[in-house]
Amino acid sequence: MLLNSKSSSKSTKDTVSYMMSVASTESRAEVALEKLSGDGFVILPDVFGADYIQALAADIEPYFDFTGRNDFEGRSTQRIYSLVSRTRSADPILENETVLNIVRSVLGRAPLLMRSQGIRILPGEVKQDLHRDDVCIPIAHPNQTLSVSVMVALSSFETRNGATWVVPKSHRDRSDKLGSKRLNALQAEMEPGSVLVMLSELLHGAGANFSDEPRTGIFANYCVPWLRTLDNHYLPFSEVGVNSLSPTMLGLLGYDVAEEGGIVYGVVEGRHPSKFLKLMN
């Protein structure tokens, strides 16, 4: 089993491509897990074929109608929130066995899809701040990874168009001293159809797009299965049933948003659930 660490011909000294070169699904997962544990991320090349990637990109194109509202979302970045509710064409990515074998090895046999998005970095977008995706889980968990993030390239991820910055091994050091970590940051370049898998503790962030073309990818985040209520309160209620509930009960059952530490929980396609259900004027 071999793991190639190399940069593409377009790479600079600040660019890295950690590529898998393994035939079988089982061996790919085994080597990827080793790399994931050591560096906090790994790139799997050519997981999805060109025809599928092109068809998927065309299918989701009409949904890129939402532009970021703040610096973190990216004021020149378009997002498709709740991609899984918009189209079935992304399902082969979200339920891909090669990727899920890795995710299950980290999170357990029944992970949950925590978030699914289409992300398009437009020309002129600035570099996103380095961050960890597990910031939305504000509990101490030094010995357990609670979520895994996956980015699938629909277009080439290159230095010039904002390939994702990653800080190798930053999943092992959660200190707030980012200066030295920024010096160690590298850009993960990959071709369409390749997959970047990251532990949620890893520092990373979108790069600045200096090109004249957008950079597009699919983002998915999976979490451990116990990060949810014991009872599922969504399925029993039709829209009529939800309309009969008081504002207090709507909140208790999860049809509301909560903001903690700058993170907003419970949105539906980027909006308040009551707006989505047309319960608000």
Q: Which token pair is 91?
A: 């399902």
Q: Is the pLDDT of residue 89 over 60?
A: yes
Who wins on pLDDT, 238 or 268?
Answer: 268
Q: Is the pLDDT of residue 25 over 80?
A: no
Phi, psi torsion values for 252, nearest 5 degrees = -65, -30
Average pLDDT over all residues of the chain: 85
Q: Where are the domains of the chain?
A: 2-223, 239-276
CA-based R_g, the chain, Å: 19
Residues 6+ apart with CB under 8 A from 118: 60, 63, 64, 78, 79, 80, 83, 90, 216, 217, 218, 219
Residues 214-231: tens digit of each pLDDT: 999 999 999 999 998 888
The CATH number for 2-223, chosen from 3.40.190.10, 2.40.50.140, 3.40.50.720, 2.60.120.620, is: 2.60.120.620
Residue 82 has, within 13 A of its CA and on its CB side, a CA count of 11
Q: What pLDDT does residue 206 have?
A: 96
**DSSP category for residue 88:** S
Min mean pLDDT across 79-88, 186-195, 237-246 is at 237-246
Share of the chain above pLDDT 70, in %: 85
Evaluate whether 76 touches 125 at the Cβ level (below 8 Å): yes
Evaluate whether 203 touches 170 at the Cβ level (below 8 Å): yes
Terminal CA-CA length for the chain: 59
Q: What pLDDT does residue 194 have?
A: 97
Residues 6+ apart with CB under 8 A from 53: 154, 192, 193
Residues 198-209: tens digit of each pLDDT: 999 999 999 999
Separation between Cα atoms, residue 157 and residue 153, nearest integer Å: 7
Q: What pLDDT does residue 139 have?
A: 84
Q: What pLDDT does residue 245 have?
A: 83
Who wins on pLDDT, 31 or 153?
Answer: 153
Evaluate whether 208 touches 126 at the Cβ level (below 8 Å): yes
Q: What pLDDT does residue 176 have?
A: 62
